[in-house]
Structure 1
């Protein structure tokens, strides 16, 4: 499958570009809004710098996106309407109506999609989730993800969309993708605002399990933590630490997109799931905006 890369930032340079090249697919070229940056990334990857998005769409079978979600959505909509397959970053959009429009356009054209929730494409997470499924009897989970993106060595410290949207929209999708696989679909969410961009979530699953999570993207560096535990009749099972690099996970996602396009079936992490994640996040964001259950 011939891929085009949209984006020239850190995630494009370090994950999407190398990931496609590490897969069984072909990276044809790259396009970004800044021609100089596009040329630099293209040279580093050894591919063509494409002069326009239209030129990219004409040259490829599929597009991989490493741009902010509000930039990704309208571009992906054009690609879907053109029948191109989509490797989307999470979240697929910041608006539920836009996410549904993208899903419907892909469905109408026969375009297939996968959404890149990083951990869901790693061997260690898949092994853990398979173990949870084989044991059963899980009743809930606890997650504490406190990240300090403002630290000098963070590649995301100057990311405008992350500064604007915070933890809910950046790491919230990862939370939902993993917990849905561990405990079943999420039926409802209650969101409580904390200090800064911190958000505290209670998630009720269709299985009856209840998950709680504390998320902060711009938290105190001294409080940096990243942990998830599932509990139930067999005890407590912690999620494994990351062992797979992001570009290797992206390679898996690219190969699975090619397979699902060939088979003509919806991927379990396709746009149907991507829309469900956006709908839950929109609900949580609306609660925070209204000050519902807001922290004093």
Structure 2
């Protein structure tokens, strides 16, 4: 796979040029961006995934909904529906897509919609729902919308400054576009990342004067939740379980479980994978299947003895305070 990526370097160079020209045409006004009355916050990255966007959206919803009427707008990647869809009780994961469905399951009191056309989606939300702020999930590269605030995520293990363009690397947007961010969050850091190491990363990212850089790590729950019961992590220590993941980067979860002395067989699938009948039949032969919350919403009711482990972002130093203060400015 690595050899193939290197051989495709000329393709990635052409891709990089196309991305650069597209952004330049937006910068000089040939392509135009739309501004909306409702406040908009973009949460995204420059790569194809694996930075923890969904847990970050959920973190922001949990904080902002205390004093704002919040809506979330997502593309709904992998869904079987078309156009604008507003989530309602009884909606299926196939209609919304796995990540929006997860967010709506956890926050049914907010407005959640999916629409590949972000401008159309925001317009409908403005006209039909009383909302103060719209969180745009995974929309950093969608420049048809001019947002009030931009939150850029980059994973500690694959900083955008060290990456290259698809298909040789995982960048889908120009590194230069990091300049549009109001705040940069380095996600999935080791919990023991010290101040000197953080300063070294900040120096490498070379933020602009207006940009703050904060650091977060993934905090996995000790609860393993199933359809009808909850197990504790210590209950499965020493037992062999089957871990099923359909996410961009399962390595942090695998590391967490192995460090906690959980023996596991890992069935790894691509991000947003919709499981086949054959794959589900295989899972049903296992004694216990543990998965992510995003995968759980697609496997629930199909796999017996199924559990998921939740995850949240926790910030280092005063990162959470800096993030919320940056949002309040806008």
Shorter-chain TM band: 0.3 to 0.5
- Structure possessing the higher radius of gyration over alpha carbons: 2
TM-score by length of 2: 0.32
Q: Which has the higher helix share?
A: 1
